[in-house]
Amino acid sequence: MKYKPLGKTGLYVSELTLGTMTFANEDSASGQTLGATGQELATRMVDLALEAGINIFDTANMYSDGVSEIMLGKALGARRKDAIIATKVYFSGTTGPNDLGTSRLAIMREVEGSLKRLGTDWIDLYQVHSFDPTTPLEETLRALDDLVRQGKVRYVGLSNFAAWQIAKADGLARRMGTERFCSVQAYYSLVGRELEREIIPAAMDLGLGTLIWSPLAGGFLSGKYTREGEAAGRRASFDFPPVDKERGYDVVDTLREIAAAKGASVPQIALAWLLHKPGVTSVIVGARREEQLVDNLGAADIALGNEEMAQLDAVSALAPEYPHFLPPMQRGESLYGRLSGDQ
């Protein structure tokens, strides 16, 4: 397992993060949709993660209405001091007028709930789960800064922000002298490369680390989904994130070829591709079953060569988009190759 600094902080995180969205009770709504581990399997997964060298665990206040945080806290137990806990704030399981978002009121209320559920005195990485269009960023930043000064939170991050929102938040924090966000959590996969257009460049330019969620595109890159048919799985009841199926099947075909040649699984190759991409700090892996997690952990040992990366890059390439197609054209390249007549 390799470790990288989280953005410009002195905090080193493992290149794989254990995601705990499936830490839930079987009779819960999320458990029925995403699968549920129950406490015993959740503890087993934390054991396996720690044994593999993972030191960061990602959860959220809204995962299974807080049950995920409870199960993670119990699973870590006395090992909490050796773990980096990342949780989130924005969503809420209740529907009051001040329950949703990142106002000072909501942040101060939700952090206390997360601390209690996790059974800890501090949160290592407190992430804003979504951009709040109704609360001034200045209010959110000051509230988060207060939590850092109080010792309840060590670092702050953001998730699911557009690039301009990331840049605005960073600029405001610099101007105000508050704690800056150190990380971006975002969706990225071989069938979802949109963040390469703006978000990854913004994160790299500002010195922010990245935590990648749904690296297997909600199971689409598990190898179970092909043109020949789709096995029963999570996407049967929760078809998310959106995937261009025909393009996605081409990606899966290429993954299967490379996996067969390397004696690896399709998910391992899909995860390894991300681990080789610039700007990626840590990839979040989660599972419903122990064998899934064990397989995912094996991705850290997969080395992909330049030719294999080029194959995967080509089959999953984004369509040219303004203004990003202008520099290649100015260099004498066409949108899909060399300009005609240019040898």
Q: How far apart are the first and last CA of the chain?
A: 45
63 is catalytic: yes
Residue-wise burial string across 122-151, b where 16 or more C-beta atoms lie within 10 A, e elsewhere: ebbbbbbbbbbeebebeebbbbbbbbeeee
For residue 97, the surrounding DSSP H or E stretch is none
The catalytic residue among 63, 155, 187, 188 is: 63
- 85: tokens are 């806990």
Q: How far apart are CA 255 and CA 221, in angstroms?
A: 8
Identify which of 45, 48, 54, 133 has the alpha carbon closest to the alpha carbon of residue 90.
133
At a CB cut-off of 8 Å and minimum separation 6, what does 161 contact? 128, 130, 131, 169, 184, 199
Catalytic residues: 63
